[in-house]
Chain A
Amino acid sequence: MDVWTSERVLALAPDAASASAGQSLASAKKWSGIGRSDRALWGLLQGSGKDPYQARVDLSEPAFKCSCPSRKFPCKHGVGLLLLFAKDASSFKMQSEPGWVSEWIESRAARVEKKIEKAAAAAEKPVDVEAQAKRAAQREARVQEGIATCRVWLEDVLRRGLAQAQAEPTANWERMAARMVDSQAPGIAAMIRQIPELLSCGQGWEMRSLDHFGKLHLLLVAGTKLRELSPDLASDVRIALGWTQTKEEALAGQGVQDRWIVMGQVIEEEERLRVKRTWLCGLKTGQRALILDFAAGLAPLDTSLMPGTAFDGEVAFYPGRLAMRAVVKSRTESRPIESASEALLDASLDAGLRRYAGALAANPWVSRWPLVLARASLQRYREHWFLVDATNSGLPVKESFASSMQMWRLLSATGGGQATVLAEWDGASAQPLGALVQGSYLDLSARLVA
């Protein structure tokens, strides 16, 4: 049962306050009626209300539910209960589930099945074709209008020069981004919103900015030629422009069956959303998959994929030239991982970069790419930190990582030696997200050291 470590449970807490509150609830004395079955944990806790809160944890993923009014997810009661389980599983006696636990678990299972059914049904039954086509045409027209506006504007920026652009107030960029949102092209808007930061960030800013403008230009040009492109490529361009794909589209397709390792995870703020990127690697197929999860405001992020665990199951990819973004279609419970297989590793950093080049050829707007390296180490060279492979080839480590405690945790865990490392490559620098050091997994995104 060593999937459940305190560290891993704490990483599930939505913020530091919940983690800390959960820790003080991780004591058997605070609970009444705690118990477990082979798939769930539950407990009652007297809060400030009249009735005690009913907290329950589905151990298969995990998933949480609690009757308390907290809007955080998982709430401190869920974190506390699971933490107590991690610390002292013996305080939970095996027994039959009370109704309020079994009903919840079963309704969850039913919901997942329904989603897949719905996806299958949606694929079969085209609804009001006419109205749909009309809506699609309307959007198409709006996006084309937006692209035309943006092209003129972008060329204008170039005519006046980057030095001039640097002096422009952020509000100007924001205004253009807002227009692109109005034109239903949020993908373009997001790229425009990245500009002010690129223009203002230190040495080499002009190269990075120009590269970004080039990328945007490429997207705009491709956007005007949607009809001439192959369906797969056109679909990638549309996604880059901001058309969304639904989970159902992915679920409708054939998935890849494998033992999937959750290699690393990172949560970032993007466009007022929290985005959780989780990288999966198939042990047998070597296939990588990116699971994205978005949440606005206080809405919960999914907790079912814990870094350093593995599950057997089917992962289905979204349509496109590059099979990368995916959803989990079916799965078993999480179990700890011990080692990586040859299949999922990049032979060297150069080999990893070649795969990245291949990915760019398929989809030039790919912004992040996973590198999975055995026998990687951190080295300092000319005042910078590098991720170095067994052949002494290195890539610079992301600045924000190099100045964080996470880097020191990795360095200390390896003692200057080698480990299997998963890093996200963004075209300029690598950010390690997780590592396997002597058989145990080190989560380098955990809030634990925030």
Chain B
Amino acid sequence: MNSISPPRRMKELAVSAMLGTDRNASLQASSVLDGAAAAGLRARAGIKTTAVSQQLPLCGVDNRPLASEKQMAILIRALNEPDRSLIEEWSELAHAKGLRVADAVAPMLLDWWAKQDKREEVVFALLGVRGTWLASLHAAWHKPVARGEVPERADELWLTSSGAERAALLKTIRRVDPKRAMTLVRSTWNDDGAEERRKFIEICSEKCSMEDEPFLEEALDDKSKLVRRAATQVLASIPGSRFAERMRERAKGMIRVETKRVLLKQRTTLRLEPPQEFDSSWERDGIEEKAANGVGKRAWWLKQVFSFAPLSMWTETVGKSPENVIEAMAGDDFFDTALEALSVAASTHGDPAWCGAIVHHKSRSKKGLDWSALRELTERLPIASRESITLKVMHEDTMKGAAAWDILGSCDWRWSKDFSIAALKMVRGEPVGKKEEWRVHTAASHIARCIAAMHAEQFAEAVMSACVEELPPSCRKSIDRAHLRSEMYKEFAR
């Protein structure tokens, strides 16, 4: 018995034990147990180490100074109860200061980042060589890092992958090399299904240019309506495309400029005159003849043409600023429809001047304010104009109480110092009424992430002055978050 090694002896015993000693007349249960007790103990006592000759590559040296302990404590807190905006803001501040994350915390930040749907590059950049090194060792972290590279076998993958994988591949390539992406799409265009073709066009709407125009113009003759419609959307956003030019001419044909002299002043009026008959050439460009129920045919045609036509048409034709153009149209029967169409065009083109003009006009209209409609338009504007428009809307409507909190809660950019002061001034000291306090709580959770960090104290005061009841924990948390951000900025300002 002593001649064989304890682990082997254990293996033999395990075979007998597996079946049970009842099945083996020559064995006693107690002798198997005796054997296992002795051999098991000897095996444990005699366990050997394994020779491990392989070595991981060493992580490169990162010469950036470490973030301070206090700075790290804030990041760890943000990671513990994952707070996306706080983590990203911290990363931006640390990256801007040229600091590095404590080595033992780096994998926590990398892991958080890799799990996000939308990954801010600044976080990975902050992790530096250590991030790259860690990602090379862990598949789940390597994947998002590799996402920015065009795979070597892209052409082969394009032919062999499934739908979702092809879409992801195309997205990556389009970002890095738009031309190559278009070549891939064209290479299989005739064999791909309608839904796939539509998706590819949608993906290519990112970074589209006149280079893509001929292909998209061809797509207007596609046999699938889905594809045709997708193509019109993309073409409308390419300045100078044949499609856009056709729309420009059509739109031009629907307006008439009248200039009158009233009391020594020249006054321009725009008359909107959609045609009486449907032009069959419109159909190819995706303009629908039949209107939805309750909408007049002519209004429907006008709306479609105006939303596709280049915005430059208006200022060129009328010779004035977007504000003047809108003013000149006001009063026309088709004005509301035209304004709707212009809102669509202004948002698709992201034209700040037009967005501003429309918002401005709407904010002065007597019809009451639909902030949600305005919100979408203001998104396209630079932060300074968003802020001034928001203040204007709040001011002109002498907006008070919960409604004012709603608006501030939807301002999801990083507020400037001036805006923070002005906005808080407008809501401070105004109890909103017990039943409406929840709206303040909701708004506070958004504002806490956006407000200029140094004004946390004023923010806390404003919230407390608006609510008579005791604040719920969620709201106290928002206030804590604002304080934490202010602490964070202080720590990075040192």
A166 to B276, CA, bound (A): 85
Contact of B81 among A20, A87, A211 (CB under 8 A): A20
Whether B353 is near chain A, meaning CB under 8 Å from some CB there, is no
CB distance from B301 to the nearest CB of A (A): 59
Given contacts A6-B76, A163-B19, contact A392 B51 (CB under 8 A): yes
Stretch at the interface among A249-257, A310-318, A327-335, A410-418: A410-418
B220, CB-defined interface residue at 8 Å: no
Interface membership of chain A positions 3-27, coded 1 if the CB is closer than 8 angstroms to chain B and 0 otherwise:
0011100100000100110011001
Which stretch from A54-62, A128-136, A151-159, A287-295 is at the chain B interface?
A: A151-159
* A207 contacts B14, C-beta separation under 8 Å: yes
Tell me the smallest distance from the CB of A78 to a CB of chain B, in Å. Answer: 18
- Interface 9-residue window, one of B36-44, B193-201, B283-291, B360-368: B36-44
Asked if B18 lies at the interface with its beta carbon under 8 angstroms from chain A, I say: yes
Q: Mark A218-242, 1 if CB is under 8 A from B, else 0.
A: 1001000000000000000000000
Assess the A162–B50 pair: CB atoms within 8 A.
no
Q: Which of chain B's residues 1-57 have a Cβ closer than 8 Å to chain A? A: 10-11, 13-14, 17-23, 29-30, 32-41, 43-57
Q: Size class of B's contact patch?
A: 35 or more
Total residue contacts A-B, CB cutoff 8 A: 179
Task: Determine if B20 and A379 form an interchain contact, defined as CB atoms under 8 angstroms apart.
Answer: no
Residues of A within 8 A of B30 (CB): 155
Chain A residues within an 8 Å CB radius of B138: 408
B103 lies within 8 A of chain A by Cβ: yes
- Kindly supply a per-residue 1/0 record for chain A positions 164-184, scoring 1 wherever the CB is within 8 Å of any chain B CB and 0 otherwise: 100000000000000000000
A300 within 8 A of B: no
B395 close to chain A: CB less than 8 A:
no
With A350-B49, A393-B50, A405-B107 as contacts: A215 and B59 at CB distance below 8 Å: no
Question: Would you list which residues of chain B between 67 and 84 have a CB under 8 Å from chain A?
Answer: 69-70, 73, 76-77, 80-81
Check B80 against A162 for contact (C-beta < 8 Å).
no
B461 interface hit (Cβ, 8 Å): no
Bound: A160/B55 CA distance, A? 47
B17 to A162, Cβ gap below 8 A? yes
| One of B33, B55, B111 near A154 (C-beta < 8 A) | B33
Q: Name the distance in Å between A252's Cβ and chain B's nearest Cβ.
A: 32
Indicate if the CB atoms of B103 and A158 lie closer than 8 Å: no
| Cβ distance B13 to chain A, nearest Cβ, rounded Å | 6
Cα distance A416–B60 when bound, in Å?
Answer: 10
**Residue in A156, A217, A364, A379 with the greatest tally of chain B CB atoms within 10 Å:** A217
B454 sits at the interface (CB 8 A): no
Contact B103 A381 (CB under 8 A): no
**Is B184 an interface position by the 8 A CB rule?**
no
Contact A381 B54 (CB under 8 A): yes
Bound together, the chains give a CA A10 to CA B477 distance in angstroms of 19
Given A27-B483, A364-B41, A427-B44, A159 and B56 touching (CB < 8 A)?
no
**Residue in B19, B36, B52, B57 whose beta carbon sits within 8 Å of that of A210 in the complex:** B36
> Per-residue CB proximity of B118-146 to A under 8 Å, as 1/0?
00000000000010011001100000000
A408 adjacent to B134 (CB under 8 Å): yes
B49–A162 contact, CB under 8 A?
A: no
The CA-CA distance from A435 to B309 in the complex, in Å, is 67
A-B contact pairs, 18 of them (CB 8 A): A20-B77, A87-B73, A158-B20, A160-B22, A161-B23, A206-B14, A211-B40, A357-B46, A360-B45, A392-B53, A393-B51, A393-B52, A396-B50, A405-B107, A408-B111, A412-B107, A415-B59, A415-B130
Known: A214-B36, A415-B58. 20 other contacts (CB 8 A): A5-B69, A24-B480, A155-B30, A156-B29, A158-B20, A206-B18, A210-B13, A211-B40, A213-B17, A214-B33, A214-B40, A215-B40, A350-B49, A356-B45, A377-B56, A392-B53, A411-B137, A416-B58, A417-B58, A427-B47
Interface residues, chain B, with chain A CB atoms under 8 Å away: 10-11, 13-14, 17-23, 29-30, 32-41, 43-59, 69-70, 73, 76-77, 80-81, 103-108, 111, 130, 133-134, 137-138, 477, 480, 483
